[in-house]
Structure formats: C-alpha cells, structure tokens
Amino acid sequence: MIKPHGADELNPLFVADDGRRAELEREARELPSIRVSSAAAANAVMLGAGYFTPLAGFMNVADALSVAERMHTVDGLFWPVPVLNLCHDAAGVKAGDRIALRDPNVPGEPVVAVQTVAEVETFSAHDLDLVTEKVYRTLDTAHPGVAAFRGQGAVAVSGPIEVLNFSYFASEFPETFRTAGQIRAEIAERGWSKVVAFQTRNPMHRAHEELCKMARDATGADGVLIHMLLGKLKPGDIPAPVRDAAIRKMVELYFPPNTVMITGYGFDMLYAGPREAVLHAVFRQNAGCTHFIIGRDHAGVGDYYGAFDAQAIFDQEVPPDALEIEIFRADHTAYSKKLGKVVMMRDAPDHTKEDFVLLSGTRVREMLAAGKELPPEFARPEVAHILMDYYREQAA
C-alpha cells in the first residue's frame, strides 16, 4: 500500500490506549484550559485521525510562515497549509505548560485534546496578511475562508497534542466518519491495491458519478473512495446528513458492488482553492489512496480562483517528489445530448455548447429552492428527490 506522507507509518495522535486516555481526561480536569476555534478543534481531529501525518501538533509562527511562503516547514517537510491553534488571548499560558483544549462545537465544551505548549507567539499584522495572501490568494474578508481564518485571532499556541476524542464527528456520523487508519484497514480488507479518491462537500450529481467511474477506469483502480467533508461549511451549502443520504442512494443504485467506499472526515472547509487541493491530496495519501481526482474549481468559492488553478499548482509549485499520490486531472463534465451520456468536454471536440446540458451549482440550488424538478441529465431522480425533500422542509 502507498506510504503515508513523510513517514513509513501513520502518526495518529488519538490516544487509543483506554487507560492512558482516562488518565489524560483526569489530568485535563485540573489543567488550565482554552476554548479553541472551530478550525483548531477540527485540526485536532485531523491530527488525531492520522490525516495530518507526520505532524505532531500545532505549528509555530516560523513554520506557519515557511509553509505559507514555500510549502515546506522550517525543517523541510512538504506541507501546503499552516496547521495552527489561533486564539485572541492566551493570557497566563506559557512555554512548558500543559493545557486542555475545549471544543466549541460540542455542548458543554468538553476537552478534545491536551497540548504541551512549545511557544505562545503573536502574529504581526504583516505576517498574518502574508499567510492569508499566500494560502487564500486574497485578503478579501468576503471570502468565507479568509473570514474564518482572520476571525480566530493572532495568538498562536504551538506544540504537540494528545487527542482524546473526535469531537462530534464520530457520534453524529457513525456510519461515515473514518480515520485514515480505518480507511487503510478497509482498503486492505477489500484487497484493493489501486484506489482513486473523490473529495466532496456537495451532493453528487450525474457529472460527479460519471467522473468517478471515468477516473476508476482510466487509472485501473480497484475502487473509489468517496470522501466527504463533515465539518463546517459556508451558509447555503447543503448539510452533511443530506449529502450523505444522497450519496449513499446514488452508490447503492448506480455503482457495481464492492467498488466504492463511502466515508467522511472531520474538517472545516477552507475554500482555499489550489492550496486546499494539495492539502486534500495529502489527506488521501495518508488514507492509503493511490490517485486523487482534481476537477474544475476544486475547493474554490466565488471567482477567487481560475477554473483549473487547483490542477496547475501541482505542475507549477508542488515539487515532483513531494507526494506519492498521483493526480487525475478532470475537465468540465456535462451531459452530451449527442451521445446520451455524461462526458468530459475535452473528450467531445465535435460538440458545440448547445450539445451539452450545463447547470451550475447555484442554478441547481435555485431550482431546488423553487421546488422545481432537476433534469435527469443532471441528477439521478432518486438523488434529486432526497434534495427536494430537504429544500421543502427548509421552506416549510
């Protein structure tokens, strides 16, 4: 199986030993605590689940700046996006302290991890701008990722962590949430050697379905990992339980048995376009996938990124030996009226625009909100009904 990023074995920071975890939970009750941001809590979950292998905890300012500027830590590890525990105020916390990190996303704000503090530093306004500009390619706070990042504060609490739980992800999505190690174990159990991963924060329509099948066939993969984001999204995005139900129905009816794994991971969407696409590739390599689909406007939002910037970054900025996972570059996909099926538009040079059925995600949401049926060329009817039921409930 493909090796994890930067290591021979996964480095999950979840404390799996029951005795040690109980001991830490007792210790945490006596420790000073800070209420972390939703993003930092999600980072802790990703560290705990092994997706951030080989990291041992939260980065300091030097590593964050180095990652932002050149996609490498100070010590030379390739990494595309800073992994930070940012807060507005860490008064009283100093290097060498052990602190409890409280989860803002769970009632009662239980401790999600215990951190041994390496440094407490404050980003200058200039350095915070630099990180923002490099990662998001904009300083515009209308960008939801920029707004979330800049809303966390400027104080960075760095150092290794020990993770006590997986926040709300394991309890709210027991059939879907999986750690990187659990996915690797299931890949091995299924006897797959080549696995192509598909990232989604949206329900999957006909184009997504066919793209997964095209990528599976083109790469010779044994199966597809449909890996959905379960964390925080921007307003207007369809919530995870609805997406989960729609995807499961699509796979049940339209994919051959034992060709798809439906899983999810606990992370808040960054909407960071190209940089987030590279981070997504790291996640999937750590989960044991050999190939990863990068499509049009991957991890993008609005008009902040070019349609294929998330593919170009792998050619222009990612060193050839940085990752072992291979990228499957997908073109625009659309339903061909000529051929009666979904195709990648680059594979249909004899078509005109009128030969395709094209619907934007915005237009689809508008149709659903208006109670209109989605065309079968765009969405499987069983999937469309799940989405329409959700929008009817929202309107009621």
Using DSSP, how many helices (H) and how many strands (E) does the chain show?
13, 15
* Residue limits of CATH 3.40.50.620 in the chain: 175-395
Which tens digits make up the pLDDT trace of 296-345? 889 999 999 999 999 999 999 999 999 999 999 998 888 888 888 888 88
CATH class entry, domain 18-170 = alpha beta
Spatial CB neighbours of 252, under 8 Å, sequence gap ≥ 6: none
Q: Check pLDDT > 80 for residue 158.
A: yes
Which tens digits make up the pLDDT trace of 331-342? 888 888 888 888
Please state the three-class secondary structure of 270-310 as a single string. Answer: CCCCHHHHHHHHHHHHHCCCCEEEECCCCCCCCCCCCCCHH
Residue 248 among the catalytic residues: no
Q: Which of 21, 98, 202, 329 is catalytic?
A: 202
Q: Check pLDDT > 70 for residue 362.
A: no
Q: What is the mean pLDDT of residues 221-227?
A: 98
Please give the Cα distance from 336 to 176 (Å, whole number). Answer: 33
Query: Which region, left, alpha or beta, applies to residue 17 given φ > 0 means left and ψ of -120 to 50 means alpha?
Result: beta
Please give the Cα distance from 344 to 340 (Å, whole number). Answer: 13
- Count other Cβ atoms within 10 Å, centred on residue 322: 20
Q: Does domain 175-395 have CATH number 3.40.50.620?
A: yes
Q: Check pLDDT > 90 for residue 3.
A: yes
Q: What is the mean pLDDT of residues 118-136?
A: 98
Tokens for 109, please give them. Answer: 């704000």
Spatial CB neighbours of 193, under 8 Å, sequence gap ≥ 6: 1, 222, 290
What pairing do the DSSP bridges indicate for beta strands 155-163 and 195-200? unpaired
Q: Write down the pLDDT at residue 238.
A: 83
What Rg, from alpha-carbon coordinates, does the chain have?
21
Q: What is the mean pLDDT of residues 104-108?
A: 97
Q: Write down the pLDDT at residue 86.
A: 98
Q: Which amino acid is at 79?
A: W
Structure confidence at residue 359 as a pLDDT band (50, 70, 90): low
The CA-atom distances, in angstroms, between 67 and each of 98, 207, 351 are 26, 34, 43
Q: What is the mean pLDDT of residues 182-194?
A: 98
Closest CA to 203 of 368, 392, 337, 396: 368
Q: Which residue has the higher pLDDT, 178 or 340?
A: 178
Q: What is the mean pLDDT of residues 31-56?
A: 98
* Matching residue, tokens 């099926």: 341
Query: Which region, left, alpha or beta, applies to residue 129 given φ > 0 means left and ψ of -120 to 50 means alpha?
Result: alpha
Q: Write down the pLDDT at residue 364.
A: 75
Q: Check pLDDT > 70 for residue 70.
A: yes
pLDDT mean across residues, the chain: 94
Please give the Cα distance from 370 to 391 (Å, whole number). Answer: 9
Task: Identify whether the C-beta of residue 249 lies closer than 8 Å to the C-beta of residue 386.
Answer: yes
Q: What is the mean pLDDT of residues 175-194?
A: 97
Q: Which of 102, 201, 243, 380 is catalytic?
A: 201
Residue 43 among the catalytic residues: no
The model's pTM is 0.94
